[in-house]
Amino acid sequence: SDEGFAYVYREIKQDVHLSSIAGGTDINGCFATGIPILPVYSGELQRPGLGMRIECYDDAGHPVRDQQGELVCEKPAPPMPLYFWNDPDGKRYHDAYFDVYPGVWRHGDYVLFHSDTGGITFYGRSDSVLKPSGVRIGTAEIYNQVAKVPGVVDSLAIGQNYHDDQRIILFVQLQDGMTLDAQKQKEIRDILRHEASPRHVPALMFQVADIPRTMNGKKVESAVTNMVNGRSVTNRDALENPGSLDIYEALLPELQK
């Protein structure tokens, strides 16, 4: 994020070549990475990884620049898996990567390719992109601002289908002894409204004691999204803290009003 870059150059080292990587354990590699001979632009990964024919697609499957879309890989790459175990007909493998754009690997990240710098900005998982009133919002846009509020340990944002639209629900984990009272909620709403936009402001906020995470520490928005929207949660065993979902299940009566 821009804030992360600013912090490193302000507090750690001013002349470091700061770069990140993006890929996945499923490909055992990087779709995008840093290149030490190119300039660094705040909040951006510099270029595609070696041999990775990646693109940013819109909903119609067209490559786009300077607008947010889906990260895809148009050509096969050596580290991609060939099949899944216990998937003899290949259906799970196909559904995981090729069900949206036929013959094109959809990785599930929400990105923007910059035409002026050649860099790539990542906004989070595309399956967790929020769409209140049809406007796309990456959950990272919310997390980056909420994390600035004193006392906030972590947060989780999801979209709830509501009255033929979608509303944003924000779950907030606070430091021990703190309460998500009216004043703290106002602080969160104010920073989102002023530093992001009014559309980033959640419709409802709830205090929670834990945030569900994968074994490698990533937030699991999809499980809570499915639960809140009445769909089954199938990936409990993949969580580092599966018991955390009980917290959200207990809140369902409040969310169904």
Spatial CA neighbour of 72 closest among 57, 60, 83, 94? 57
Q: Which two tokens stand for residue 23?
A: 């890929």
Q: Looking at residue 36, what is its pLDDT?
A: 92
CATH of domain 2-123: 2.30.38.10
Domain ranges of the chain: 2-123, 129-255
Give the confidence band of 185 by pLDDT, cuts at 50, 70, 90. very high
Give the confidence band of 209 by pLDDT, cuts at 50, 70, 90. very high
pLDDT of residue 127 exceeding 80, the answer is no
Q: Looking at residue 32, what is its pLDDT?
A: 96
pLDDT in tens, 138-165: 898 899 999 999 999 999 999 999 988 9
Instruction: Look at the block and give the residue holding tokens 């821009």.
Output: 2
Q: Looking at residue 140, what is its pLDDT?
A: 86
DSSP state of 49: P
pLDDT of residue 208 exceeding 80, the answer is yes
How would CATH label the architecture of 129-255?
A: 2-Layer Sandwich (3.30)
From residue 9, give the alpha-carbon distance in Å to each of 47, 56, 121, 144: 21, 29, 19, 18
* Same fold yes or no, 2-123 and 129-255: no
Taking residues 4-21, report their average pLDDT: 92
Cβ atoms 108, 22 nearer than 8 A: no
Q: Looking at residue 215, what is its pLDDT?
A: 85
Q: Looking at residue 135, what is its pLDDT?
A: 83
